Amino acid sequence: MALSRRTFLKGSAALLAAVGLPAWAVAELHAHGKPTVLAQQLFSRIGLVPSDPVVHVLNRTSFGPTTAEVARVRQMGMDAYLEEQLHPEAIDDSAVDRQLAQFTTISMSSADLLAQGQEQAQQIVSELRQATMLRALASRRQLQEVLVDFWSNHFNVFIGKDQCRFLKPVDDRETIRPHILGSFRDLLGASAKSPAMLTFLDNRQNRKQAPNENYARELMELHTLSVDGGYTEADVEAVARCFTGWTVKDGTFYFAPNQHDRTAKTVLGTTIPAGGGIEDGERVLDLLAQHPHAAQFITTKLCRRFVADQPPQSLVDHVAEVFQSTGGDLRQVTAAILHSPEFTASSGQKFRRPFEYIVAAARALGVQTPAEPLLQQCALLDQAIFGAQSPPGYPDVAPAWMNTAGLVGRWRYALALAGGKLKDTPVDLGPLVQGATSPQDRAQRLVAALLPGYSETPLPTQLAKLFAAPKLSPQQLKQRTAVAAGLLMAAPIFQWR
């Protein structure tokens, strides 16, 4: 029985207290004037997202720029930064690793996880989600975390289905993470044998007497060829038969020879001779991983994530060529995208999905722990981590997320976060405005910190007013800084990356 979304949201309804504004601001701001033209242009136009290449690269290869990270990348240079991020194994991430040590279930074997029993299921799910959130927030291997998010979504496993609650930590650790910059065929093979995937798409119950087509269909439609990838219903049936007997035993992959259909099959025009065993499925994975449609589909999706909702076909063709010529080497594929002129020219074209938005705001404010309140915000904005119930995962294009529910949810989050009103999530804006010489200077520093690349631009009228009163007590100044920070992160430009 699938976990309901309600279960995920449990307790989060009360989380967001009404976003309060102190009485001081009310009278002052009610008599508002017309916004300046500059402010309008600055805060509402997608085209004005900074062309600063460092900010752009950090927008795309991380969960959001921070002041420190912008400075570091300027110092080391962009090529060196990309080279660093493309080799995450060489980056020291011990600070985050130490934090993750508290989550004992993320390193357990599937047998140990299953032995925990149903009463621990919520804890197991929660720990994996918290670990994912902490890594997105604080890992120095930011590109790795972006890629983990991408590939977890591509090979989506809904964590609420049956034993997936126990098996997803192993899928995350052993299927996704080791392969995101490796060979696509290895990743595909690991996914095909992942107990979590075998559970989510029911292949563990795919037996020769009456095959279960679920995995076979999604393997072609979603994992490799795409829905228009040229396969037929007969191919779906044949692929399902090739994977009969691929199942799970004691929480690990197991090939059950007596459940395998040993008759001959024809897949995409290739004959798979009778008498085969586990190699039938391996042969299908080979065929699919090498298929030109897979190269197009995978690279289109990667370009969609890193460049634009509708990436230029020239770029996709180039990257697909790299995919094909390197045998699906994902490090080279990813590098080809990040080093392309199309990537460089695409600043500000991607609408942050809820997970990206929530983490970007938290990173900008220097929020560290705990992860739980941020996870609840993801669920409220309909992007619970590992919570996509349907096989395609979450959409990666702006129109899917750009609606009234999304906007109002983002505004509430930004204002609550900056105001220190998110449960258990204290925020210290002091460091962002340290050394300010006047209230106005304070506001400008806030802009510089939260919207790198805009430090020279005048504040919108409404925000400027927050700091315009002749005499502000330290407490007033603090409150107004929080409101201004919330509004800056609620602004249109913060929605784009």
Partner 1 sequence: MIDTETTTSGLDRRAFLGRSLGLNGGALLDTGTPPQATSTMAQSTSKDLLLYVFMRGAADGLNIVVPHAEADYYTARSTLALAQPGKGNGSVLDLDGFFGFHPALVPFKRLYDAKLLAPVQACGSPDPTHSHFDGMDYMERGMPGDKRLATGWLGRHLQLTAGSNDSPLRAVGMGGLLQTSLRGTNNAVAMSSIAAFHLGKGSDGQVLQAALRELYGGDGMLNGVAQQTFSVLETIDQRLKPDYQPAHGANYPKSPFGRSLQELAQLAKSDQGMEVACADIGGWDTHAAQGGAEGHMATLLADLSQGLEAFVTDLQDRADHVTIAVMSEFGRRVKENASRGTDHGHGNCAFVIGGGVQGGKVYSQWPGLHAEQLYGPGDLQVTTDFRDVLAEIVGRRLGNTHLDQVFPAYTPRALNLIRS
Question: Which parts of 22-41 interact with partner 1 (CB under 8 A)?
Answer: 25-26, 29-30, 32, 35, 39-41
Stretch in the footprint of partner 1 (CB under 8 A) among 120-128, 293-301, 324-332, 399-407: 399-407
Stretch in the footprint of partner 1 (CB under 8 A) among 20-28, 54-62, 265-273, 314-322: 20-28
CB of 377 to partner 1, least distance (A): 11
Q: By CB under 8 A, name the one of 150, 306, 490, 497 that touches partner 1.
A: 490
261 binds partner 1 (CB under 8 A): no
The residue among 488, 355, 360 whose CA lies nearest residue 69 is 360
Window 201-230: contact mask with partner 1 (x via CB under 8 A): xx--xxx-xxxxxx--x---x-----x---
390 binds partner 1 (CB under 8 A): yes
Question: Which parts of 347-366 interact with partner 1 (CB under 8 A)?
Answer: 354
The residue among 356, 314, 352, 353 whose CA lies nearest residue 336 is 314
Q: By CB under 8 A, name the one of 68, 76, 111, 405 that touches partner 1.
A: 405
The residue among 152, 162, 147, 245 whose CA lies nearest residue 191 is 152
For strands 252-255 and 265-267, give the pairing: unpaired
Backbone CA torsion sign across 286, 287, 288, 293: positive
Stretch in the footprint of partner 1 (CB under 8 A) among 60-68, 83-91, 391-399, 428-436: 391-399
# binding residues, partner 1 (CB under 8 A): 75
Residue 78 or residue 468: which is nearer to partner 1 going by CB?
A: 468
**59/55 Cα distance (integer angstroms):** 6
Q: What is the phi/psi pair of residue 423, to 5°?
A: -50, 135
118 binds partner 1 (CB under 8 A): no
Q: How many CB atoms lie within 10 A of CB 104?
A: 12
496: helix, coil or strand?
strand
Q: What is the phi/psi pair of residue 383, to 5°?
A: -135, 60
Tokens 């080497």 belong to: 329
**55/44 Cα distance (integer angstroms):** 18
Q: By CB under 8 A, name the one of 10, 11, 45, 310 that touches partner 1.
A: 45
CB of 238 to partner 1, least distance (A): 12
Stretch in the footprint of partner 1 (CB under 8 A) among 13-21, 61-69, 250-258, 289-297: 13-21
CB of 81 to partner 1, least distance (A): 29
Two tokens, residue 487: 């509004």
Q: Where are the alpha helices (DSSP H) in 155-212?
A: 164-170, 184-192, 195-200
Question: Nearest 5°: CA angle at 91, between 88 and 94?
Answer: 115
Stretch in the footprint of partner 1 (CB under 8 A) among 267-275, 290-298, 331-339, 383-391: 383-391
43 binds partner 1 (CB under 8 A): yes
Query: Any bridge partners for residue 247, and if so which?
Result: 254
Residues 6+ apart with CB under 8 A from 358: 374, 377, 378, 381, 413
The residue among 313, 311, 319, 312 whose CA lies nearest residue 295 is 319
403 binds partner 1 (CB under 8 A): yes
Residue 404 or residue 437: which is nearer to partner 1 going by CB?
A: 404
257 binds partner 1 (CB under 8 A): no
115 binds partner 1 (CB under 8 A): no
Q: By CB under 8 A, name the one of 96, 106, 167, 380 that touches partner 1.
A: 380
**145/150 Cα distance (integer angstroms):** 9
11 binds partner 1 (CB under 8 A): no
Residue 404 or residue 473: which is nearer to partner 1 going by CB?
A: 404
**171/124 Cα distance (integer angstroms):** 13
Backbone CA torsion sign across 127, 425, 367, 63: positive
440 binds partner 1 (CB under 8 A): no
Q: By CB under 8 A, name the one of 329, 460, 482, 485 that touches partner 1.
A: 460
Q: By CB under 8 A, name the one of 105, 132, 377, 495 that touches partner 1.
A: 495
381 binds partner 1 (CB under 8 A): yes
